[in-house]
Amino acid sequence: MKEELIIAGFGGQGVLSMGKIIAYSGIMEDKEVTWMPSYGPEMRGGTANVTVIISDKRISSPILRWCDTAIVLNQQSMDKFEPMVRKGGLLLYDPNGITRHPVRKDIKVCSIEAADLSNRMEMSKAFNMVVLGAYLKMKPILERHNVIQGLKKSLPERYHDLIPMNEKAIELGMKEVKEVI
Amino acid sequence: MAEKLLKKGNEAIALAAIRYGADGYFGYPITPQSEVMETLMEEMPWETTGMVVLQAESETSSINMLYGGACCGKKVMTSSSSPGISLMCEGISYMAGAELPCLVVDVIRGGPGLGTIQPAQGDYFQAVKGGGHGDYKIIVLAPASVQEMYDFVGLGFDLAFKYRNPVMILSDGAIGQMMEKVELRDPVRRLTDKEITEKYGHWATVGKPASRKGNIISSLSLAASEMEAINLRLQAKYQKMRENEVRFEKTMCDNAEYLLVAFGSSARICEGTLEIARSKGIRMGLLRPITLFPYPETAIREMLPQLKGIMSVELNAGQMVEDVRLAVNGAVPVEFYGRMGGSIFSPEEVFEAFAKKFNL
């Protein structure tokens, strides 16, 4: 098993922490993981992205030209990462704020209205967990209980009372993700 | 089984320092390595092991704090990134001249000048060929994973005290910022002052007993004959490092016809290039120098009979390739591929450069 994933969006959307939760969940399953942020000027506003690799075997390059999955949360990231998805791979995006929708026909394209849904449910802070749920539904590479463990490991203890809400958000994402035809 | 954590390379450095019984960290913040001091401050080791963590007013100041701590036989370290290391080079030369142990971590960013905060390997020459003035050498360790960032702290301190010499961990923004699984090793406690006096009292300035003359630590010796004798002693020490401390890793080298040579983050990327080459039936291997000084020149030379060509792959304009060429001495073609200024290559890009250079 090897999953090469890029998550990209605006700074503040929880892109890096979503990647961290996925990586920690991988450790819970005793897999090899790398988490490589774009930490450059992006961190000071603008777009942010992170590359996460989860594998049964030792991971070679943390730098990718192609990825199995791209999770895209703004237009700039769509332009940059849609072409990077491997043929047959997955592109998951939130249509909120997207002006040019994906055009590729050789990959699977899914959408999750995470911004809308999380706002409506009054848990906008768990936006990225809705996206995570959608991803795990389409790519069930990690056991549910390990993801919750990963979540616990990534969150400082003072936020652990928020875990039930995050679980609910993950469930919501799993339920609401749609394949785009 | 030890607990496995998900940590950045920079965080691993800090955790390792505390758990390896370091006595003091003195540094000044700079991207992309600020997490080293941030993690130390969060961990507050002064309340547990008694380790001192201090933000100095500049890099020049922090390296001279290392000089002072090392004189007292303490396990001291600093970390910085390229421009900060440039400021420290005077102090590193003084410490090499005075034969003082210390650990310096350089998380390279793109240069020259203030450059960029993105990863690069443009300071190979600075680390390996000098940086400061005079005929000195420091042992340079190049980690290629977060686990190695952790492990090389202990190794670095051991080597620093074994040779009474500065040791550098030469990393870059990619390894420093990347998170991977890291296994914490069993803790080693700090030495007591009594233990330091027993172990290092013959050279360290730990208080003069009536039974011997005082220890004087200095890199100054005005008489040419004395200074030459000191230089000869230092050179003999560096020769011992060359004989005993060369470290490297070979991947798929047994039947290789072509060899990539790369260190640190470049070596990780080249592992991906190997997979591509092998899938196309090209017998490619990778030699990853772990010590950049002393350099694994013999390991490269021993492979020459089986090789058709070598490519050195670096995030710079071609620095380590000079050492590869010295080792090879014209026996096979040595090519170079690199990117600069914070740009990083993908495994595919390295393969394409390789195929072009060797007409494959």
Quick: pLDDT tens for A121-171: 998 889 999 999 999 999 999 999 999 999 999 988 999 999 999 999 999
In this structure, the answer to whether residues B116 and B24 fall within a common structural domain is yes
Task: Indicate the number of domains in chain B.
Answer: 2
CATH code at position B340: 3.40.50.920
- Does residue B220 form part of some domain? no
Looking at the predicted structure, is the pLDDT value of residue A11 above 90?
A: no
- Name the domain boundary from B158, B183, B208: B183
Last residue of a domain, one of B183, B203, B230: B183
Same domain, B122 and B20: yes
Quickly state the pLDDT bin for A12 (edges 50, 70, 90): confident
Q: What was the pLDDT predicted at A45?
A: 58
Structural domain boundaries, residue B29? 4-183
pLDDT digit string (tens) for B218-263? 999 999 999 999 999 999 999 999 999 999 999 999 999 999 999 9
What is the distance in angstroms between the Cα of A37 and the nearest Cα belonging to chain B?
7
In tens, the pLDDT along A33-57 reads 999 998 555 555 578 899 999 999 9
Report the 3 state secondary structure along A152-176: HHHCCHHHHHHHHHHHHHHHHHHHH
pLDDT of residue B145: 98
Largest CA-CA distance found in chain A, in angstroms, rounded: 45
Domain membership of residue B148 (yes or no) is yes
Q: Flag whether B242 is in a domain.
A: no
* Domain end residue (candidates: B183, B211, B227): B183
- Would you state the pLDDT for residue A38? 84
Whether residues B96 and B10 share a domain: the answer is yes
Helix pair A163-176, A127-138: axis angle to 10 deg: 50
Domain map (residue ranges) of chain A? 2-179
> What is this model's ipTM?
0.93
Q: Do B272 and A39 touch (CB under 8 A)?
A: no
What is residue A78's predicted lDDT score, i.e. its pLDDT?
Answer: 96
Q: Hunting for tokens 């350099």 — which residue is that?
A: B295
- B21 and B163, same domain (yes or no): yes
Output the domain CATH number for residue B84.
Answer: 3.40.50.970
- Tell me what pLDDT residue B3 has: 76
B134 and B16 in one domain?
A: yes
Is the residue at B44 inside a domain? yes
Q: Give residue B71's Cα distance to chain centre.
A: 22
What would the CATH number be for the domain defined by A2-179?
Answer: 3.40.920.10
**CB-CB: which of B6, B116, B177 is closest to A23?**
B6
In chain A, the percentage of residues whose pLDDT exceeds 90 is 86
Q: How far is CA B34 from CA A27, A47, B80, B143, B192, in A?
A: 25, 21, 8, 18, 29
Residue A59 has pLDDT above 70, yes or no: yes
Residue B213 lies in a domain: no
Q: Are residues B135 and B255 in the same domain?
A: no
Range 176-215 of B in CB contact (< 8 A) with A: 177-181
Q: Which of B1, B6, B349, B351 to mutate to test the interface with A (most CBs of A within 10 A)?
A: B6
- Looking at residue A181, its pLDDT comes to 72
B113 lies in the same domain as B262 = no
B133 within domain boundaries: yes
- Shortest CA gap A120–chain B (Å): 33
Is residue A103 packed enough to be buried (19+ CB in 10 Å), middle (13-18) or exposed (0-12)?
exposed
| pLDDT tens for each residue of chain B, 360 residues long | 567 899 999 999 999 999 999 999 999 999 999 999 999 999 999 999 999 999 999 999 999 999 999 999 999 999 999 999 999 999 999 999 999 999 999 999 999 999 999 999 999 999 999 899 999 999 999 999 999 999 999 999 999 999 999 999 999 999 999 999 999 999 999 999 999 999 999 999 999 999 989 999 999 999 999 999 999 999 999 999 999 999 999 999 999 999 999 999 999 999 999 999 999 999 999 999 999 999 999 999 999 999 999 999 999 999 999 999 999 999 999 999 999 999 999 999 999 999 999 999
Of A137, A141, A143, A133, whose CA–CA distance to A165 is shortest?
A: A133
Asked whether residue B202 is domain-assigned, the answer is no
Does residue B303 lie in a domain region?
Answer: yes
Q: Is A5 strand, coil or helix?
A: strand
> Cβ of A61 and B180 within 8 Å?
no
